[in-house]
Amino acid sequence: MRSHAVIEGKRVLYQEGSVAAMRHPQDLLARYSKAGLAEGTLMFCGTLAVHGGIRPAARFEFELEDPVNGRTIQHGYDIVSLPNLG
């Protein structure tokens, strides 16, 4: 898995790593099940470390690569910043 960010017009590597580097969902559930998860609770499984720190970008692009079958899924989205009216 990897992602790129477009920051000040430059496409930079933002995250990269194997799916195996992420916490397994069963591990996450075991860590929080003692506290009791309410029915209908949604849990995100986390993310990979960010290169250069978390920062805003005009665009994010990401891909999942299957090295065994030589296939890649890619997607990206642009960021539209809303004005601060406060």
Q: What is the pLDDT of residues 1-13, one digit of tens each?
A: 999 999 999 999 9
pTM across the whole model:
0.73
Question: How do residues 31-43 score in pLDDT, each as one tens digit?
Answer: 877 777 788 888 7
pLDDT at 76: 98
For the segment 35-53, the average pLDDT, to the nearest whole number, is 83
State both tokens at 36.
């009791």
Which among 60, 56, 34, 29 has a CA at the least distance from the CA of 45? 29
29 vs 4, more confident: 4
Spacing of C-alpha 69 from chain mean position? 23
Give CA–CA dist 59/9, Å, rounded. Answer: 9
State both tokens at 83.
């004005």
pLDDT of 19 over the 90 cut: no
